[in-house]
């Protein structure tokens, strides 16, 4: 005779490793994202030792945001006023930030341009960046190297003309930016001592425009 003692239920069992595995995956994604620069392209993942297939997971978990065609940003970094400059430098690695944009980055004068001014080698193909506003001018010879600095913007190494070189370029391209802009830049850079007369004169000599800028320098320092 069988006695009915009630219904038996099997309670579910939980592995102590399950939440740790989930936590470990999330922590690993966060650690991976911290290896990346503020702005990055998919190919940067390999350089950081991150499997390229993890990009979708980082986006899904909110570690990174897609901000442009083939361009991403770590979400834990707030965008700066120069984010567009960094985006252009990332999309066009050979670009040199110059003229009005360089003035703004160096905080020289009062000019603010909606376009990012870049210089490229005369032989370089003009980039097609429909989603980014750019103005392109051409450099050649020593102008591609002299007075060109590396500066970190949003975690991106950007090439940018130095304060002295930027002022000289404004005089060289005064037909594009205006003589008033060049004069304001020269006056401000001398007043704030962001560049010396010798640095400006040397840059002007390299760029073959010393005879143009010298009278303005003499008038301002006399």
pLDDT tens-digit map of 75-113: 776 667 788 898 899 889 899 999 999 999 999 999 989
Task: Give the CATH number, domain containing residue 54.
Answer: 1.10.10
Q: Is residue 93 part of a domain?
A: yes
Same-domain status, 60 and 91: no
Q: What's the gap between Cα 130 and its chain centre?
A: 17
Q: 116 pLDDT band (50/70/90 cuts)?
A: very high
Count the domains in the chain: 2
Query: Which of residues 74, 93, 121 is at a domain's end?
Result: 74
Same-domain status, 62 and 89: no
Sheet with 71-74, strands from edge to edge, namely: 39-40, 71-74, 64-68
Q: How far is CA 171 from CA 67, 142, 197, 209, in A?
A: 35, 17, 15, 8
- Which residues, 6+ apart, have CB-to-CB distance to 218 below 8 Å? none
Mean pLDDT of 158-171: 98
pLDDT top residue among 56 and 67: 56
CA distance 109 to 107: 6
Indicate if the pLDDT at residue 171 is higher than 90.
yes
Half-sphere exposure of 170 (CA within 13 A, CB side): 29
Are the C-beta atoms of 96 and 63 separated by less than 8 Å?
no
How much is the pLDDT for 12?
A: 46
Beta-bridge partners for 69: none
Indicate if the pLDDT at residue 169 is higher than 90.
yes
Left, alpha or beta for 112 (phi > 0: left; psi -120 to 50: alpha)?
beta
CA distance 126 to 163: 25
Query: Which of residues 54, 74, 94 is at a domain's end?
Result: 74
Q: Is 2 exposed, middle or buried (0-12, 13-18, 19+ CB in 10 A)?
A: exposed
Same-domain status, 54 and 89: no
Are the C-beta atoms of 202 and 213 separated by less than 8 Å?
no
Same-domain status, 65 and 121: no
How much is the pLDDT for 219?
A: 95
CA distance 133 to 88: 9
Same-domain status, 38 and 139: no
Same-domain status, 136 and 206: yes
Indicate if the pLDDT at residue 27 is higher than 90.
no
Q: Quickly count: other Cβ atoms within 10 Å of residue 86's Cβ.
A: 25
* Domain housing 70: 19-74
Indicate if the pLDDT at residue 16 is higher than 80.
no
Q: Is 187 exposed, middle or buried (0-12, 13-18, 19+ CB in 10 A)?
A: middle
Same-domain status, 93 and 183: yes
Helix (H, G, I), strand (E, B) or coil at 215: helix
Are the C-beta atoms of 156 and 89 separated by less than 8 Å?
yes
For the chain, the first-to-last Cα distance in angstroms comes to 120
């Amino acid at each position: 005779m069988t006695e009915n003692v009630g219904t038996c239920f099997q309670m579910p069992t939980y592995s102590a490793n399950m939440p740790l595995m989930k936590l470990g995956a999330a922590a690993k994604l966060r650690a991976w994202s911290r290896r990346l620069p503020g702005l990055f392209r998919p190919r940067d993942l390999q350089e950081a030792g991150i499997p390229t297939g993890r990009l979708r997971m980082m986006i899904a978990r909110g570690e990174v945001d897609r901000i442009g065609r083939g361009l991403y940003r770590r979400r834990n970094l707030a965008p700066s006023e120069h984010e567009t400059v960094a985006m252009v430098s990332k999309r066009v690695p050979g670009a040199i930030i110059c003229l009005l944009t360089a003035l703004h980055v160096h905080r020289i004068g009062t000019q603010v341009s909606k376009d990012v001014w870049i210089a490229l080698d005369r032989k370089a193909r003009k980039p097609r960046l429909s989603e980014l506003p750019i103005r392109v001018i051409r450099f050649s010879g020593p102008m591609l190297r002299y007075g060109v600095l590396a500066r970190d913007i949003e975690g991106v190494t950007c090439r940018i003309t130095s304060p002295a070189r930027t002022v000289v370029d404004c005089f060289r391209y005064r037909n594009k930016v205006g003589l008033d802009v060049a004069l304001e830049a020269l006056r401000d850079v001398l007043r704030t001592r962001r560049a010396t007369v010798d640095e400006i004169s040397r840059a002007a000599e390299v760029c073959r425009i010393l005879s143009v800028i010298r009278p303005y320098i003499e008038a301002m320092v006399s």
